[in-house]
Structure 1
Amino acid sequence: MLKLKKFFRLVVLSLISILFLVACNSNDEGKSSEKSTGDGGLAAIKERDKITFGVKFDTKLFGLKNPSTGEVEGFDIDIAKQLAKEIFGDENKIELVEVTSKTRIPLLNKGDIDAIIATMTITEERRKEVDFTEVYFEAGQSLLVKKGSAIKSIDDLTKDTTVLAVKGSTSTDNIRKAAPDAQVLEFENYAEAFTALKAGKGDTLTTDNSILLGMASEDDSFELVGGTFTDEPYGIAVKKGNTEFLDALNKALETLKSNGEFDKIYNKWFDK
């Protein structure tokens, strides 16, 4: 009888120990979940002591890697540096990761970058996936052609016209709506698309006028035609729900605009 009682006592103690361990594990998992929810938020960024920005490496005037120095240069890059300066007090507390129109949102949502500042148009469709700051640059879609081209505006695009564009950009959707008969040939990035235009693989290249101006400045045998046929307001994107970080970026942008730093950067790249 004593042996039986001792056996039952051991069983009860074992069950209590198991329940205790399960409860501890549940608490730990809950803490882990809470921690992961904040990943990419302002607290995590400050703890890491730098902001990782997704930027273009192939877009002159906005984000272009200088082959002689290896540095990425442009309007978006300078704005990113000043945002870091406002948030951390040091413009060097940034890391730049290359993105394309196609890869930028996946990289953001995967956690590889904290924010996108890469000629990204604010659209309602994109708002379903990311949160945007206030507009920091106003652009509009246009056409780039070889000088002397018969194409003078969007109205000249027909079924016999091949239009070059970049995958994952709003430009591709816009041109299909504006010129439904034209053939659209898509490329991974702007460098590939401009190379294709120069090689005669298309009649015109379409994207935002600000980006096309950078291409035209590289080769004066090309020009923009027809003005703009869309509005393309650029915003900085962060993960959905990262309200505190978004507020910090908006506050920093407001400061740059009020203290003249924003105009200084704009004039450096576009008032030439």
Structure 2
Amino acid sequence: MTAILSRSHPAHRARRTLTVLAVVAAATLTGCTSGAYTETTLPTASPSPSSAAAPAAPAAPVECADPLASYAPDGPPAGPDALPAGSTMAEIRDRGRLIVGVSADSMLLGARNPVSGELEGFDIDMARLVAAAIFGDADRVELRVITAAQRIGSLQDGTVDLVARNMTITCARWQDIAFSAEYYRSGQKVLVPLGSDATSLADLGGRRVCAPAGSTSLTKLEEFTDIEAVPAATHTDCLVRFQQGEVDAITGDDTVLAGLAAQDPYATVVGEAFTAEPYGLGMNADDVDLVRFVNAVLDQAKADGTWAASYDRWLSAALGPAPAPPASVYGR
């Protein structure tokens, strides 16, 4: 007779941890060529115990009329042969590939298919839309795996042209980079063990809650002084710590937590969303022409059903039927 192990049984916990560690290893392969596109990984540094314990410096107040307001398109996206000479888009076309920072371990958004080895998901689809508009070929994209904490820096130093990695549009981030119009509206929730009585962060006083370094999810934890915030490199790292008993819960966007729960039958996402997390595609602040172009691409996808088809493929099973695409707001 096969013994049934409880969640707390050491052998059971080890088996589940090894499974997720395999996912982490698959998500951090470097220098791969997958399908017709190129894939690389930026080096990461996990937070040290000392840095995790240090209190975060308070953010300076930011004046911002409307963080969702982006740069209006100049018209429908120009085809590959009609891109303005000297534009950012023409430079990318002449280089031969669009370079995009993405996640490799956010199931449904940006994660590695265990069979094909290719990165796929809703965010990946958004990146491929831009590549298709610039080249006439969605495969002309180099996907560079980055952590949440690397998103802004990789845009500022030109490592990537675009970030498509469930990035919340905020006033503070507009000071460092530029955003497209909103392409998805998420909300922050919590992931807890099955049977937990917690339904929100307010119920997790005295417990350890994990979120990725550099994320708005980690910033939200600063509002709860009785919670021990535990930063990690990625949400998958949070899941490993959760399964090893090092943290009691994980907080993040509902899209990301839905992917984590799909990997752990002993975890569940609970409660109503307690934040609004409008996602935008990130770009260098100087590349205003690229922002306008990307907005034209997104507007077209929202209008012709491409956006809804991508949502149905990746998110509808976990999050329900496709809502209306978020309206684009312009005026910057």
TM-score using structure 1 length: 0.82
Aligned mates of 2:289, 2:158 — CA distance in 1: 17
Task: Choose which of 208, 220, 224 in structure 2 pairs with 1:174.
Answer: 220
- Whether 2:289 is the aligned partner of 1:236: answer no
Q: Amino acid of the residue matched to residue 206 of structure 1? A: T
Task: Choose which of 103, 119, 125 in structure 2 pairs with 1:78.
Answer: 125
- Equivalent in the alignment of 1:127: 174
CA RMSD of aligned residues (A): 1.6
- Equivalent in the alignment of 1:183: 228
Task: Choose which of 55, 59, 70 in structure 1 pairs with 2:102.
Answer: 55
- Equivalent in the alignment of 1:5: none
Q: Amino acid of the residue matched to residue 112 of structure 2? A: K
- Whether 2:157 is the aligned partner of 1:110: answer yes
Structure 2 unpaired stretches of 5+: 1-84, 318-332
Report the secondary structure of 1:131's partner residue: strand
Q: Summarize the Cα distance change of 1:225–1:39 in structure 2 as closer, same or farther, 3 Å threshold.
A: farther
8 Å Cα contact 1:166-1:189 kept in structure 2: yes
Aligned mates of 2:309, 2:290 — CA distance in 1: 25
Report the secondary structure of 2:149's partner residue: coil
Aligned mates of 1:188, 1:39 — CA distance in 2: 37
1:108-151 Cα distance to aligned partner (Å, 9 max, x none): 11111100010000011100000000000100111000110132
Aligned mates of 1:49, 1:262 — CA distance in 2: 25
- Equivalent in the alignment of 1:21: none
Q: Amino acid of the residue matched to residue 176 of structure 1? A: E
Report the secondary structure of 1:218's partner residue: coil
- Equivalent in the alignment of 2:39: none
8 Å Cα contact 1:164-1:184 kept in structure 2: yes
- Equivalent in the alignment of 2:55: none
- Equivalent in the alignment of 1:43: 90
Q: Summarize the Cα distance change of 1:183–1:39 in structure 2 as closer, same or farther, 3 Å threshold.
A: farther
Report the secondary structure of 1:103's partner residue: helix
Report the secondary structure of 1:102's partner residue: helix
Residue 41 of structure 1: how far off its partner (Å) = 2.2
Q: Summarize the Cα distance change of 1:40–1:111 in structure 2 as closer, same or farther, 3 Å threshold.
A: farther
Q: Amino acid of the residue matched to residue 294 of structure 2? A: L
8 Å Cα contact 1:61-1:75 kept in structure 2: yes
Residue 153 of structure 1: how far off its partner (Å) = 2.1
1:131-146 alignment to 2 at 5 Å?
131-146=178-193
8 Å Cα contact 1:40-1:111 kept in structure 2: no
Aligned mates of 1:162, 1:188 — CA distance in 2: 16
Q: Which stretch of structure 1 is more off in the superposition, 207-216 or 79-88?
A: 79-88
8 Å Cα contact 1:161-1:183 kept in structure 2: yes
Residue 182 of structure 1: how far off its partner (Å) = 0.6
Give the paired residue count.
Answer: 233
Residue 65 of structure 1: how far off its partner (Å) = 1.8
Report the secondary structure of 1:53's partner residue: strand
8 Å Cα contact 2:89-2:134 kept in structure 1: no
Residue 40 of structure 1: how far off its partner (Å) = 9.0
- Equivalent in the alignment of 1:152: 199
- Equivalent in the alignment of 1:267: 312
Residue 42 of structure 1: how far off its partner (Å) = 2.1
8 Å Cα contact 1:40-1:114 kept in structure 2: no
- Equivalent in the alignment of 1:204: 249
Aligned mates of 1:220, 1:76 — CA distance in 2: 25
Q: Amino acid of the residue matched to residue 104 of structure 1? A: R
Aligned mates of 1:98, 1:155 — CA distance in 2: 33
Aligned mates of 2:279, 2:213 — CA distance in 1: 18
8 Å Cα contact 2:87-2:289 kept in structure 1: no
Q: Summarize the Cα distance change of 1:271–1:237 in structure 2 as closer, same or farther, 3 Å threshold.
A: same
- Equivalent in the alignment of 2:239: 194
More helix by share: 1
Task: Choose which of 91, 101, 107 in structure 1 pairs with 2:148.
Answer: 101
